[in-house]
Amino acid sequence: MLDGFIRVAAASPKVKVGDVEYNVAETAGLARKAAERDCAVIVFPELGLTGYTCGDLFLQKALIEKAEEGLYELADQTADLNTVLIVGLPYSLGGKLYNVAAVIHQGDIIGFVPKQNIPNYSEFYELRHFTPYDLDGIIMTEDDICFGKAVFSCGGLKFGVEICEDLWVASSPSVDYVKNGAEVIFNLSCSDEIIGKAKYRRDLVKMQSAKLMAAYVYCDAGLGESTQDLVFAGHNIIAENGKVLSESKRFANDNHEEQILYADIDLERLDADRRRSNTFANDINGESGVDIIEFDAEFPDIVLERHISKTPFVPENSTDLATRCEDILNMQAAGLYTRLKAINCKKAVIGLSGGLDSTLALIVTIHAFDKLGLDRKGIIGITMPGFGTTSRTKNNSINIAEEYGCTLREISISAAVTQHFKDIGHDMDVHDITYENSQARERTQILMDIANQEGGLVVGTGDLSELALGWATYNGDHMSMYGVNCSIPKTLVRYLVSYESTRTAESNPSLSAALADIVATPVSPELLPPTEDGKISQKTEETVGPYELHDFFLYYMIRFGFAPSKIYRMALSAFEGSYDAETIYKWEETFVRRFFSQQFKRSCVPDGPKVGTVSLSPRGDWRMPSDASRNVWLEDLETVKD
């Protein structure tokens, strides 16, 4: 099981009501197809060996016995498969009939899980035939098979099983299963279709997976169930901690490919979320009346089919992206206007470079001032051209300040920095780190001093990606009085500015055009002289690497604590066709080295609002010693070369 990924499936075979032999054959056929896809576990619908809509036929001894025979026949037919099967059937025990799920692996029936909550309302009359199971733990059948509430443990996976209505009740059995370590819940269901139910069902599965911090695999009955009074659509859903990974098309035909729904579950991701949340109970063998059933299984390493986004900080759906951008801008603005109101400050000072970060900071400040009803003239935008400033970035900074109606000041830093070089004895022709950082610190000094003059607050412009890489001048652009972009990664900064450009296209075309050009401008601190034709010579991503790669590394390292080797393999999948393996390795190694060496800058960053799940604030989500060793992470990354 490489990197904690396993493939699971939900299959809705075509059934014939009451025809066990036919249903066993269909089930075995789909199980074999799933095994060919390296599927670890496949779940089938409720009472699938007989059909759910048998009605009073469930009271017939012939059908009950045939169902049990069919179960053993199915086990024999799939004995050569390494895939775990979970199938539904009626099962008689102790003079009572139960609606059960049977867990099968390599010819063995591992255990039975009976349905605990039996619906008897509206179209459901299950109490007419089945007994709800209410005992704790497990008992043994006459064939010495475990029967009852259990978590199954095999091959590094722990899973629980519940049946249809067990999900829909207030106290689901799955709650007890996850308390006993279950990472995946499989649900065998036969949920009929009525108007509006599909959305409700989808939301229920999605939110149950979120509540449990688990994966939830929901398998519904479809073709072949009796339509005498009800219609069934085969609505299968696989969710992982609040996100639907895969969902079947309802009312699909009997094409085998459409009858099986697959998804690759990330168990390490689930475990990471549970470790982070100290309110998540992991009460192994506690007082929940659940036993652990262990059996041997070895799941294969899979060729990942799971979609991995290149931009985990940015929604891929355009509608979601617009909503996300609006929410983020409102959150950033709320943080700033709350701070301004708290200190009774009516002026803000921002250094405008014509780049993405300072532009976003200005946009946020505009929103904050508008919310407070303050005059935009109280926003003092300062452009500070230096040795590397190009006309493109300078003009853009001037344009957006004027279009927003801010106060604009231009203060050249060239003379001051030249004098500073004389003072410290630095050769102007040596374009080293001193040459660059002296300019950044001079700009920060100007901003701070003007803020003192005006009684204003210096709004920081640095973003999350720069904090992660330490791509900021210590006590230069690293410092401000409030950092509005501190938890916004560079990939998202670009989308936020682009969103503002789109939003203002009709009301202010000139502003929109300037914002669009800023989005198209290469990321640069502009601390080195421009090229002979006046273009930017210093491009950040050529020095430290592509921000889309660094943001990818950052997200999975901080959000889930994944090992560098796993992040590397995920990046290979996400960026296939964009970057080769050598490039990804190079920049991930750079990321790890810089992330550890630059912690001292993160240990003393200004206040700023957290807006996403990843934050590097030393007062919030990330506490790390500045002298921690990076060797463990680099050694792990090196293993991908083996």
Q: Any idea which residues carry the catalytic annotation?
A: 46, 115, 164
pLDDT reading at 257 higher than 60? no
3-state secondary structure of 265: strand
- For the chain, give every domain's residue range: 2-294, 318-641
111-126 b/e with 16+ CB inside 10 Å = b?
bbbbbbbbbeeeeeeb
pLDDT of residue 537: 67
Class of domain 2-294: alpha beta
- Domains 2-294 and 318-641 equal at CATH topology level: no
With cut-offs at 50, 70 and 90, classify the pLDDT of residue 50.
Answer: very high
Neighbours of 497 (CB within 10 A): 23
Q: Which residue has the higher pLDDT, 539 or 449?
A: 449
Q: Tens digits of per-residue pLDDT, 570-587? A: 999 999 999 999 999 999
pLDDT of residue 540: 75
Residue 96 corresponds to which amino acid? K
With cut-offs at 50, 70 and 90, classify the pLDDT of residue 389.
Answer: confident
Q: Work out the average pLDDT over 474-486.
A: 95
pLDDT of residue 67: 97
Token look-up 């025990």 returns 93
Query: Residue 93 and residue 143: Cα distance in Å, rounded?
Result: 11
pLDDT reading at 642 higher than 80? no
pLDDT of residue 600: 96
Least confident of 144-148, 246-250, 455-459, 580-584: 246-250
Q: Work out the average pLDDT over 348-359.
A: 96
In whole angstroms, what separates CA 485 from the centre of its chain?
A: 21
pLDDT of residue 42: 98
pLDDT of residue 560: 95
Q: Which residue has the higher pLDDT, 320 or 468?
A: 468
Average pLDDT, the chain: 93
Burial of 270 (0-12, 13-18, 19+ CB in 10 A): buried
Sign of CA dihedral 575, 579, 584, 587: negative
pLDDT of residue 284: 53
Q: Percent of the chain having pLDDT more than 70?
A: 97
With cut-offs at 50, 70 and 90, classify the pLDDT of residue 451.
Answer: very high
Q: Tens digits of per-residue pLDDT, 577-629? A: 999 999 999 999 999 999 999 999 999 999 999 999 999 999 988 999 999 99
Q: Percent of the chain having pLDDT more than 90?
A: 84
**Helix H segments across 539-604?**
540-543, 547-560, 564-574, 581-597, 599-602
Q: Cα separations (Å) of 18 from 22, 31, 105, 367, 614? A: 9, 20, 25, 66, 53
pLDDT reading at 637 higher than 90? yes
Query: Residue 116 and residue 100: Cα distance in Å, rounded?
Result: 9
pTM over 0.95? The answer is no
Q: Tens digits of per-residue pLDDT, 520-558? A: 998 877 667 878 777 776 777 788 999 999 999 999 999
pLDDT of residue 256: 55
Q: Work out the average pLDDT over 457-475.
A: 96
pLDDT of residue 535: 76
Q: Tokens at residue 629, please? A: 């060793």
pLDDT of residue 397: 95
Q: Work out the average pLDDT over 373-394.
A: 95
Burial of 626 (0-12, 13-18, 19+ CB in 10 A): middle
Which is nearest to 344 in space by CA: 231, 246, 457?
Answer: 457
Tell me the CATH architecture of domain 318-641. 3-Layer(aba) Sandwich (3.40)
With cut-offs at 50, 70 and 90, classify the pLDDT of residue 372.
Answer: very high
Cα angle 22, 18, 216 (rounded to 5 degrees) comes to 80
Phi/psi for 515 (5° steps) reads -65, -40
pLDDT of residue 493: 96
Q: Which residue has the higher pLDDT, 377 or 319?
A: 377
Q: Tens digits of per-residue pLDDT, 261-286? A: 999 999 999 999 999 887 776 555 55
Which is nearest to 297 in space by CA: 73, 41, 76?
Answer: 41
With cut-offs at 50, 70 and 90, classify the pLDDT of residue 126.
Answer: confident
pLDDT reading at 481 higher than 60? yes
pLDDT of residue 485: 97
Q: Tens digits of per-residue pLDDT, 328-339? A: 999 999 999 999
pLDDT reading at 508 higher than 70? yes
